Chains A and B, each alone.
Chain A
Amino acid sequence: MPIDTAPFPSPPARTPDPGLARIQAARARHWARARRLIAILLGLWLATGFGTVFFARDLAHLSLLGWPLSFYLAAQGASLIYLAIIGGYAWRMRRLDRAFERELARAQEDGA
């Protein structure tokens, strides 16, 4: 299997190639955006889990279609928010990946 032998490119050599520099800049931008997205979604994840539990007693008096709000959040609401977080992440990352591809194509056009 070809996968067994060092499949990873060594760190790019430091040549003054302008195309390569642009690719690296595009990669760095992509990673910065991805990292920000992950940080925001992790914040939402933490707020959902912590908020639902920590304020459960205060939310118990509110009612949502027959459910006490805290019971609904713990039994369904939080899990549905988690699903939305994962779905949102996959969707946004797809768009970030495509934006990166476009930048890459532009860099290659300019280089050619």
Chain B
Amino acid sequence: MSKLDASGTGAGAGTSTGAGTGAAGAAARPGSYFRRLSRYYLWFTLCFGLFLAALGILEQEGMPRQWIGHLYMFATIVLYATIGVVARTSNVSEYYVAGRRVPALFNGMATAADWISAASFISLAGTLYLHGFDALAYVMGWTGGYCLVALLIAPYLRKFAQYTIPDFFAVRYGGGNGSNRRGTTVRAVAVAATIVVSFTYVVAQIYAVGLIASRFTGVDFSVGIFLGLASILVCSFLGGMRAITWTQVAQYIIILVAFLIPTMWLSVKFAGNPVPQVAYGSVLPKLAQREAQLAADPREQEVRATFQARADAFGERLARLPHSWEAGKIEAQRQLDAARGRNASLGEIRNAERTLLSYPRTADEAERAWTAERAANLARAQPPEPHAEPFPGKTREESDIRRNNFLALVFCLMFGTAALPHILMRAYTTPSVHETRVSVFWALFFILLIYLTMPALAVLAKYDIYTALVGTDYTALPTWVSYWASVDKANPLISIVDVNGDGIVQLAEIAIDGDVLTLATPEIGGLPYVISGLVAAGGLAAALSTADGLLLAISNALSHDIYFKIVDPGASTQKRVTISKLLLLAVAFIAAYVASQKPADILSLVGAAFSLAGSTMFPALVAGVFWKRANHQGALAGMVAGFLVCLYYMLHTNPMLGGNVEGVWFDIAPISAGVFGVPAGMAVLVLVSLLTAPPPPETAGLVEHIRAPE
């Protein structure tokens, strides 16, 4: 093993650019290399702090908000591009696996940045705010998955020491003298799975980049996408895994600073303790008290009754379809005629016209629209659920269903985490198997710094909104409410309407989108705009770092596994890297194009990516190491079966994909389809392996090799 590494390192040092941010030139001794990297990143953190302070002073001097947004956006993008240029490479080992000499601590940081996506950074705190205990399934699932990565997969991949995840499948399940010697079929299936999983995920990241860029700099959504794309490309195009690794470490530092500063501020404000993870325990009982108070408040009940009445009205109209549809249409037309007839103001006529235009065109359409409206109103008619209470339900069965769904989601997210190609790929980049084990520890450590803070942020922000915003006068609404309400007119992130007309904000009158919470926290806490911009830069870093890793996973699967291993095995190393870069460019543009279409259905599929990844790849990955008898036929059948079961369950039960909620098994929600997919894949793998011939003898040698210590 050490011989291979030495040659890889030597080649890397030969072509490295020799200057700049630590990525260049391996040192002779790993210890001094590590110290040098630490020094670079300490300097970077210091400079970043100075940059923040300078912006803060400039804001005091009256620099407009728009400029601060622009400065953040361009400064960070230029930073990432610079690291990309400095760490550029066309060496195969450098391009695919960063020369296999990333120290464990930095590999952990890069994995954490790879892992913390736009969804984690922007939406998770909001999800925790909205769903309370139920949303902790994400925290548990996404952290518990790293146990599986560390114990079952990562060290063995490092010992195997190739380039991609499909490599492992092809070598482990190939071999023998037959047509399957090179494992082409199983490699192709693994590539397909990698692409399906990673592509839905990368589209969501690029979408988030466009969203943040357009909100904070005022550029058009598609311009925002292509600005973000430019920085991704400069980085991954020039330097592959090597550039991405060093960019991700910088991005992690930005993410951490951006998330901790506002949360610590809120924590000092409400609990008098700057460590939010410790402090919010004292806020929870106060929040529970306030929740009980609001549930019993007569004015709150009045507002909830209004929503209940609206829901009932929609229910009645639904019951009298299609007559109610016709009557409503005539009524809307009559309103418009009346307004025109009595020479009403232009605004009134416009309103009447808009009502008529947006009226459902057919009775079927009306049924769908009104059902959704009824559900939305019903949801707002419910009293607030206690934040910290696990699985509240009217009956024991209802509560049990929620518990089972929680459990199912936790396990799906765990198995999915352990099978995501862009995370597993990082196992290849450390200098030794031991360093890989330690790097998973650091990865989870750095992820936890953020993830343990998320529930704290949700509780602190909820307490602030429940106590400070609820009960204020409508004339004295805080400015952040009107600012965030006006950001996206079509789908307002926050809307507060005086439903009962008493001029005072009731909790039931607030409709808040989960995505706004992290971005608005600085303003909720009364911090200057510099911090708001910082949080946006953090969200941008989270989206870009994940997109980097995913794009590399896709383009490596295409260039290394499809082109080099299947189409043209004789290609020179230079040609391989060039092809890889071209494919990266192509995939990035396709993903950006798809994202610019704002595909709602793809975005809703991101949660499903975990179930799909787990069902397809996890059984074959683990059996590859722990069960020598697992063979080619078994692996293929297991992967296909896991994928199909998972896909079938989603299509069958998810209303957005044309399924029906009635078709669920054991009341498990479609997002947790992996609960059926993973066992099905595992069972089919075992069964088919046992029914067919054992794998060729050299497979046993390979398995012995990857199990053996270095």
Contact = CB atoms under 8 A, between A and B. Distances in A.
Interface of A: 1-3, 7-12, 27, 30-31, 34-35, 38, 41-42, 45, 48-50, 52-54, 56-57, 60, 64-68, 70-72, 74-76, 78-80, 82-83, 85-87, 89-90, 93-94, 96-97, 100-101
Given A71-B284, A97-B710, A78 B140 contact: yes
B698 A10 contact: yes
B147 A85 contact: yes
A33 B162 CA distance: 26
Given A8-B702, A74-B133, A74-B139, A82 B151 contact: no
A89 B285 contact: no
Contacts, number: 162
B501 interface: no
27 contacts: A1-B92, A3-B161, A8-B171, A10-B698, A11-B697, A12-B701, A35-B626, A38-B151, A38-B152, A41-B151, A42-B151, A53-B406, A54-B403, A54-B407, A64-B281, A67-B281, A68-B388, A71-B133, A78-B144, A79-B139, A82-B146, A85-B150, A86-B437, A89-B151, A90-B150, A90-B434, A90-B437
* Contact residues of A: prevailing secondary structure: helix
A37 B93 CA distance: 33
B74 interface: no
Contacts of A85: 147, 150-151
A88 B8 CA distance: 31
Interface of B: 4, 7-8, 11, 92-93, 133, 136, 139-140, 143-144, 146-148, 150-152, 155, 161-162, 171, 277, 281-282, 284-285, 388-391, 399, 403, 406-407, 410-411, 414, 434, 437-438, 440-441, 444-445, 448, 451-452, 455, 573, 626, 697-698, 700-702, 704-705, 707-710
A78 B145 CA distance: 12
A11 B695 CA distance: 14
A76 B278 CA distance: 10
Given A11-B700, A65-B281, A79-B140, 17 more contacts: A8-B698, A11-B698, A41-B151, A45-B148, A49-B410, A49-B411, A50-B407, A54-B407, A64-B281, A67-B388, A74-B390, A76-B452, A79-B452, A82-B444, A85-B147, A86-B444, A97-B709
The 3 closest A-B pairs by CB, nearest first: A66-B281, A56-B390, A11-B701
Contacts of B148: 45
Given A70-B390, A83-B445, A90-B434, A7 B146 contact: no
Contacts of B281: 64-67, 72
Which residue among A41, A86, A89, A96 has the maximum number of chain B CB atoms within 10 Å of its CB? A86
A90 B710 contact: no
Residue among B7, B155, B704 facing the most chain A CB atoms (10 A cut-off): B704
A83 B11 CA distance: 36
Given A1-B8, A66-B285, A68-B284, A49 B140 contact: yes
B444 A11 contact: no
A82 B8 contact: no
A17 to B, nearest CB: 17
A97 B7 CA distance: 24
A79 B448 contact: yes
Nearest to B447: A79
A8 B452 contact: no
Contacts of A48: 144
Nearest to B154: A86
A88 B414 CA distance: 19
Nearest to B708: A27
Contacts of A7: 4, 161
Contacts of B11: 1
B414 A49 contact: yes
Given A27-B708, A83-B448, A86-B441, A78 B143 contact: yes
Nearest to B279: A66
A60 to B, nearest CB: 6
Contacts of A71: 133, 136, 284, 388, 390
Contact of A3 (B93, B406, B710): B93
Given A66-B281, A71-B284, A90-B437, A79 B709 contact: no
